[in-house]
Amino acid sequence: MSERIVLAYSGGLDTSVAIGWIAEETGREVVAVAVDVGQGGEDLEVIRKRALDCGAVEAAVADARDEYAEQYCLPALRANALYMDRYPLVSALSRPLIVKHLADAARAHGASTVAHGCTGKGNDQVRFEVGVGALAPDLDVIAPVRDFAWTREKAIAWAEERALPIDVNKRSPYSIDQNVWGRAVETGFLEDIWNGPIEDVYAYTANPAEPREADEVVVGFSAGVPVTIDGQKVSVLQAVEQLNERAGAQGVGRLDMVEDRLVGIKSREVYEAPGAIALITAHQELENVTLEREQARFKRQVEQRWSELVYDGLWYSPLRRSLDAFVDSTQEHVTGEIRMTLHGGRAVPTGRRSAESLYDFNLATYDEGDLFDQSLAKGFVQLWGLPSKIAARRDQQ
């Protein structure tokens, strides 16, 4: 058996062409690895057979949907992870899981090299290669599209010359990446940042401007983990899937943003993440009820750094693990239910209840039964403002 290369295989044009190209250029056998993270579309068995028909000596497929939801999406939810306060890390979360399966496959098949289909402009090249370096530093990495300046035209010509079993004529005007946590769309007319997205960009969400009845949903959490939808027990994957459907039907989770890529350029991205946005909204609201003030303030700083690390391909970094430990410690009391109205593209909390609540009605009320001793406030205000008052006296002299 010749030395092998493990290829992250999506079933599309670039990675299908890469199988034969790598084999011809390196003289090595190619093992294709496809990972299901809830991206939908074609059946994995169809993708596995296509890889073999394109020249792979073996093709492995993994149903990693529950693994992805529980070990990657859930930590992001508990961290309320939103890059640039908006993007719920749709693609960034799936890459370290795919890298893990690539490294495992390389060990299983005796490969010394892994390959991916990323370009040199995007963030994913970093996520794949830094991840491989963290999990299996002895493995080499090649990226045919980036390293050998492939264009789509070259890939189509290659496929036609060798009669590969893929449709090389059908071309979406967009570049799309999707999984159960959301969907990312770029390129085409979206590259002109003045152009507004049109409805055919979207697949996970309905037009929020269309009239429809609102949907009320109650999400239950236990220690920061979504465990019920409207009182019915769910797994993490089921919670995301159900809210993808229900929040998506209300147009929740559409994002159109210009973001800062790791490679130093700005890019325009359109995202759909109905389940992710609805769950993060509910989780944040429950934390508002159950986290102590200073803990909550510091956690917001941690959330931003956590999101940046994952976006930047540092899932396997020591700092991300340390931040996870802090986030986990904050979730002990994040138990209860949040009621939300899904309508018009928004998920709006309308009710909260928790046995772990720090909200005390008798302290908060302005009506009869108020237990808050307002006589203490005068001295508190004076002491709180004393440093500013002393500085102001100095500045006025």
Q: In what order do the strands lie in the sheet with 182-186?
A: 175-179, 182-186, 266-272, 254-260
E strand segments, the chain = 4-8, 29-36, 58-63, 111-115, 140-142, 175-179, 182-186, 215-222, 225-229, 232-233, 254-260, 266-272, 336-343, 346-353
**CA pseudo-torsion sign 339, 283, 35, 95:** positive
> Among the options 86, 112, 175, 215, which is catalytic?
175
Show the tokens assigned to 397. Answer: 């002299």
How wide is the angle at C-alpha 263 spanned by C-alphas 14 and 152, nearest 5°?
A: 20
Annotated binding site for L-aspartate: 119, 123-124
Question: What is the rounded distance in angstroms from the CA atom of residue 320 to the CA atom of residue 339?
Answer: 31
Question: What is the rounded distance in angstroms from the CA atom of residue 371 to the CA atom of residue 100?
Answer: 55
- What single DSSP character describes residue 295? H
> Among the options 4, 28, 65, 95, which is catalytic?
95
Annotated binding site: 8-16, 87, 117, 119, 123-124, 127, 175, 259, 271
**CA pseudo-torsion sign 72, 74, 77, 78:** negative
Does 124 qualify as catalytic in the annotation? yes
What DSSP element (H or E) covers 172? none
Tell the residue number behind the tokens 């800062």, with chain if given.
260
Phi-psi region of 9 (alpha: psi -120 to 50; beta: other; left: phi over 0): beta
> Among the options 36, 48, 78, 124, which is catalytic?
124
Does 175 qualify as catalytic in the annotation? yes
Does 146 qualify as catalytic in the annotation? no
Question: What is the rounded distance in angstroms from the CA atom of residue 269 to the CA atom of residue 251?
Answer: 17
Does 95 qualify as catalytic in the annotation? yes
Annotated binding site for L-citrulline: 87, 123, 127, 175, 259, 271
Task: Give CA torsion, residues 248, 190, 38, 88, to 10 deg.
Answer: -70
- What single DSSP character describes residue 196? P
Best CA proximity match to 107, nearest among 142, 60, 71? 60
Question: What is the rounded distance in angstroms from the CA atom of residue 72 to the CA atom of residue 179?
Answer: 12
Active site residues: 14, 95, 124, 175
